[in-house]
């Protein structure tokens, strides 16, 4: 009597699992089947395990030398007698009512050539990992999504529609024989979805599916010939572009979920991302700093935006978030520097990064003691925005030169960051020990800083790159001065001076005030100020003062430069001078002091002009009396800025530094193990969750208030953290 079902079970070295698979078949409520166990040349004791089941007359054990899964299935197809054909793999199982439900469904739908059920993914101990409930069959939709739902455990094939097929698997592939077979069968007739969980697909290390990314070349071959079939229906030919997109996305997911290294994943994904017109990130860069929009052009914020324009996957972690940028994330608020830094190390943003770039971390809760392990795990660079990391205490050292040998008995305890007791020797020794034991590269923006770092014992033997900042000269550029002044309601015949109104001990506001008090001129003088308001009250009767506060709008800031004749920047301590290059790019010369980075930055005396502090007042007077010189210096400043401070030059050089640091970074076996464990057990996305919280107004208010408390404790002076006041935030 012909059986209703032919069940085949291909087996190769499955002695440890095959018993459960066989018993799941023999325990079916539906009994009318023949059961062919096909041994594909097993070298273990599979035959002995199967022997105890041969007393059941429905079971046949057949053996051939190893030929592969496809040939073994075709062998079973050639031997089949049943109306329905099903394959139960030697590591999978089916539910007791599987055959009953599948036969019932197929009998009710004689027009369907194949039926597939829902199924579980299970582990080696039969624990359910997940449940797969497939969609109902729609050939066009399934192919468009490159999702062959029939390629599942427990599928039934009606043999009659395929009676002319000598084989059902072509056997030329290792990974996609099933997929190829089902897409071929879909051209013959419709499939049926049986909406019940009737099978268990076992996931274990012995399967070839753990390296499915190797199927990509096979899918490419299949895709090409499938859509070249002469008898392919037009409706299927028409969806070829959609299928291609789905296949490319499938490739990307296979690579992403593989056990390849991060660099291998990135390189393998590039051609498919390009074909999809998606960003092909060359590497992942994480910027870490204190805030985003205040100082955005030097604190890593604009840099990470520029990097993304260059297809670098860049993110920015900060303590104070003012922007709405989706790739800028808040640090976790913690009660200690240790927990603060550990939360960073355990985050997916850190663990996924290919290189770390630190900015102004002395303004955060970053614990320097973690720097050696961080730089051992990750290629790391730090931009030294000021000399803080060259000494034991001061942000700037003034005339003190103890930092060149060893800091002790600090003469500037009241300067930021103020100390109640002198710990400068300890801090110096700690910094030196940490930096010397860290695999870190420094970036400085000026020759002045480069010379200082070269003299620092803390940085002895470390690689130092000098890279001047670049700015967006599509924003900071010359415009029609008359038009800009009209927009800002500034008299056309006025002399306009612009400067930063800031009581910081480093910015030289007292020098500006003194020079303006002593200024003798009949010309209309308009003062444009940014930063702190209300600091020029004693001059309000002498000058037309326009105060703009802390600006986060670069276009408005550029307008102020464009309306100005001269930019005053008498900083007593300055490691670069971002506002100087902004002014120069707008064709405005800069008047600065000697003894800082600014003479070189403004190319004094050819372009801007740097003078001694005692000559600042007389030099301002002289320049106002010679507007032709101001104009000439403005022209030269613009040319110099275009040549030296262009954004494109800056970002391309920065990327080259990153590539060099990444290429030269080596990790030892111990560090590799640490990194592996962190990826496996500690990785989390809390920082990304915090970003979502940042959109909540109450959360933002709370965060601003707590951050101001931190700043007050950290800096110890109201003037330093006043810029973070709520009215500016």
Placement of tokens 């695999």 in the chain: 439
Do both 558 and 635 map to the same domain?
Answer: yes
- What are the CA-CA distances from residue 468 to residues 445, 587, 602 (Å)? 4, 19, 12
pLDDT of residue 415: 81
Encoded tokens for 650: 């800056």
Tabulate helix, strand, coil % of the chain (nearest 5). Answer: 45, 15, 40
Do both 314 and 349 map to the same domain?
Answer: yes
- Contact partners, residue 243, CB within 8 Å, separation at least 6: 143, 144, 146, 223, 227
Nearest to residue 723, comparing CAs of 515, 535, 557?
535
Answer with the one of 255, 280, 305 that is the final residue of a domain.
280
Encoded tokens for 234: 């037009």
Instruction: Find the distance separating the first CA and the last CA of the chain, reported in whole Å.
Output: 85
Partners of 8 in the β-ladder: 36, 87
Do both 90 and 58 map to the same domain?
Answer: yes
Do both 143 and 113 map to the same domain?
Answer: yes
Residue 475 lies in a domain: no
Residue 88 lies in a domain: yes
Given a contact cutoff of 8 angstroms between Cβ atoms, the answer to whether 435 and 459 are in contact is yes
Do both 523 and 420 map to the same domain?
Answer: no
Partners of 497 in the β-ladder: 527, 566
How many C-beta atoms lie closer than 10 Å to residue 178's C-beta? Answer: 19
Do both 682 and 637 map to the same domain?
Answer: no
pLDDT of residue 722: 40
**CATH assignment at residue 72:** 3.90.550.10
pLDDT of residue 348: 84
- Contact partners, residue 228, CB within 8 Å, separation at least 6: none
What's the CA gap between 417 and 607, in Å, rounded?
35
Indicate the SS3 state at residue 282: coil
Encoded tokens for 723: 């810029």
Partners of 684 in the β-ladder: 347
Nearest to residue 570, comparing CAs of 528, 548, 607, 599?
599
Give yes or no for a cis peptide into 165 (omega within 30° of 0).
no
Burial class (CB in 10 A: 0-12, 13-18, 19+), 303: buried
Do both 428 and 566 map to the same domain?
Answer: no
Indicate the SS3 state at residue 671: helix
Instruction: List, as own/partner pairs, every contact residues 216-222 make where C-beta atoms lie below 8 angstroms and the sequence separation is at least 24, other chains included.
Output: 216/251, 216/254, 216/255, 218/173, 218/174, 218/175, 218/176, 219/176, 219/179, 219/247, 219/250, 219/251, 221/173, 222/173, 222/176, 222/179, 222/180, 222/183
Residue 476 lies in a domain: no
Do both 621 and 493 map to the same domain?
Answer: yes
Given a contact cutoff of 8 angstroms between Cβ atoms, the answer to whether 93 and 20 are in contact is yes
How many C-beta atoms lie closer than 10 Å to residue 418's C-beta? Answer: 14
Mean pLDDT per 10-residue segment, the chain (729 residues): 94 93 97 97 95 95 94 96 96 96 98 96 91 95 93 94 94 90 96 96 64 91 93 93 96 87 80 87 90 87 93 90 86 65 86 94 91 96 96 89 93 83 93 97 97 97 97 95 96 96 90 95 95 92 93 92 97 94 98 96 97 97 96 97 95 96 93 85 60 50 56 45 35
Helix (H) or strand (E) holding 664: helix 647-664
Do both 317 and 221 map to the same domain?
Answer: no
Placement of tokens 């010309």 in the chain: 523
pLDDT of residue 369: 94
Nearest to residue 495, comparing CAs of 637, 593, 630?
630
Helix (H) or strand (E) holding 359: strand 355-359
Nearest to residue 519, comparing CAs of 566, 466, 556?
566
Beta strand 114-122 with 59-64: parallel, antiparallel or unpaired?
unpaired
Helix axis angle, 69-79 to 177-186, nearest 10°: 50
- What are the CA-CA distances from residue 628 to residues 433, 504, 568, 606 (Å)? 54, 33, 17, 14
Placement of tokens 């993914």 in the chain: 121
Domain with 256, as residue range(s), is 207-280
What's the CA gap between 459 and 453, in Å, rounded?
7
Do both 53 and 91 map to the same domain?
Answer: yes
What's the CA gap between 654 and 443, in Å, rounded?
9
**CATH assignment at residue 289:** 3.40.50.2000
Residue 714 lies in a domain: yes
Strand order in the sheet with 544-547: 544-547, 525-531, 495-501, 566-569, 590-593, 609-611
- Global pTM exceeds 0.85: no
Cα 301 to the center of its chain, rounded Å: 14
Do both 458 and 526 map to the same domain?
Answer: no
Answer with the one of 149, 178, 206 that is the final residue of a domain.
206
Given a contact cutoff of 8 angstroms between Cβ atoms, the answer to whether 600 and 447 are in contact is yes
Residue 444 lies in a domain: yes
Q: For the chain, how many structural domains are there in total?
A: 5
How many C-beta atoms lie closer than 10 Å to residue 401's C-beta? Answer: 10
Do both 531 and 588 map to the same domain?
Answer: yes
Answer with the one of 280, 298, 327 that is the final residue of a domain.
280
């Amino acid at each position: 009597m012909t059986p209703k079902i032919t069940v085949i079970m291909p087996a190769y070295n499955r002695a440890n699992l095959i018993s459960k698979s066989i018993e799941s078949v023999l325990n079916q409520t539906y009994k009318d089947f023949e059961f062919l166990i096909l041994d594909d040349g097993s070298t273990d004791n599979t035959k002995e395990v199967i022997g105890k089941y041969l007393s059941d007359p429905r079971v046949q054990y057949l053996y051939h030398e190893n030929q592969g899964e496809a040939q073994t299935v075709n062998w079973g197809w050639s031997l089949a007698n049943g109306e329905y054909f099903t394959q139960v793999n030697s590591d999978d199982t089916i539910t007791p009512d599987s055959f009953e439900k599948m036969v019932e469904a197929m009998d009710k739908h004689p027009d369907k050539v194949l039926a597939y059920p829902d199924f579980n993914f299970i582990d080696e101990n039969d624990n359910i990992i997940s449940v797969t409930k497939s969609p109902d069959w729609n050939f066009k939709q399934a192919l468009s999504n490159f999702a062959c739902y029939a390629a599942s455990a427990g599928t039934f094939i009606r043999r009659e529609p395929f009676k002319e097929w000598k084989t059902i698997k072509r056997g030329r592939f290792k990974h996609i024989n099933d997929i190829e077979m089902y897409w071929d069968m879909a051209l013959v007739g419709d499939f049926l979805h049986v909406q019940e969980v009737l099978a268990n697909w076992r996931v274990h290390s012995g399967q070839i599916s753990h390296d499915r990314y190797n199927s990509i070349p096979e899918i490419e071959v299949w895709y090409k010939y499938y859509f070249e079939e002469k008898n392919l229906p037009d409706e299927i030919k028409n969806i070829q572009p959609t299928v291609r997109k789905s296949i490319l996305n499938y490739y990307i997911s296979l690579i992403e979920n593989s056990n390849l290294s991060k660099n291998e994943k990135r390189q393998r994904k590039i051609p498919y991302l390009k074909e999809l017109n998606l960003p092909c990130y060359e590497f992942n860069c994480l910027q870490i700093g204190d805030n985003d929009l205040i100082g955005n052009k030097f604190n890593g914020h604009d840099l990470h935006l520029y990097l993304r324009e260059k297809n670098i996957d860049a993110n920015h972690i900060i303590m104070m978030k003012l922007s709405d940028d989706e790739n800028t994330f808040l640090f976790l608020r913690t009660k200690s520097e240790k927990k603060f830094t550990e939360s960073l190390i355990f985050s997916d943003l850190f663990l996924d990064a290919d290189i770390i770039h630190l900015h102004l971390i002395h303004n955060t809760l970053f614990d320097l003691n973690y720097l050696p392990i961080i730089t051992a795990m990750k290629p790391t660079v730090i931009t030294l925005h000021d000399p803080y990391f060259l000494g034991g205490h001061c942000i700037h050292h003034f005339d003190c030169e103890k930092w060149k040998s060893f800091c002790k008995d600090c003469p500037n305890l009241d300067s930021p960051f103020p100390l109640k007791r002198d710990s400068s020797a300890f801090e110096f020794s700690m910094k030196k020990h940490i930096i010397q034991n860290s695999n870190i590269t420094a970036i400085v923006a000026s020759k002045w800083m480069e010379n200082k770092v070269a003299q620092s014992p803390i940085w002895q033997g470390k690689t130092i790159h000098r890279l001047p900042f670049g700015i967006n000269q599509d924003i900071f550029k010359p415009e029609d001065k008359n038009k800009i002044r009209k927009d800002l309601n500034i008299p056309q015949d006025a002399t306009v001076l612009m400067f930063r109104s800031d009581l910081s001990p480093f910015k030289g506001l007292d020098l500006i005030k003194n020079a303006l008090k002593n200024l003798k001129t009949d010309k209309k003088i308009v003062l444009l100020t940014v930063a702190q308001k209300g600091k020029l009250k004693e001059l309000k009767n002498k000058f037309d003062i326009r105060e703009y506060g802390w600006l986060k709008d670069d276009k408005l800031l550029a307008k102020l430069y464009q309306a100005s004749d001269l930019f005053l920047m008498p900083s007593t301590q300055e490691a670069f001078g971002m506002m100087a290059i902004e002014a120069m790019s707008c064709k405005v010369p800069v008047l600065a002091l000697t003894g800082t980075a600014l003479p070189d930055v403004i190319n004094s005396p050819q372009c801007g002009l740097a003078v001694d502090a005692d000559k600042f007042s007389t030099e301002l007077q002289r320049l106002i009396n010679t507007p032709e010189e101001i104009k000439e210096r403005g022209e030269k400043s613009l040319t110099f800025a275009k040549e030296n401070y262009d954004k494109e030059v800056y970002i391309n050089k920065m990327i080259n530094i990153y590539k060099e640091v990444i290429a030269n970074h080596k990790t030892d076996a111990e560090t590799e193990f640490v990194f592996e464990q962190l990826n496996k057990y500690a990785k989390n996305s809390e920082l990304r969750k915090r970003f979502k919280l940042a959109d909540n107004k109450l959360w933002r208010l709370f965060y601003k208030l707590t951050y101001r408390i931190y700043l007050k404790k950290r800096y110890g002076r109201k003037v330093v953290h006043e810029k973070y006041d709520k009215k500016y935030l």
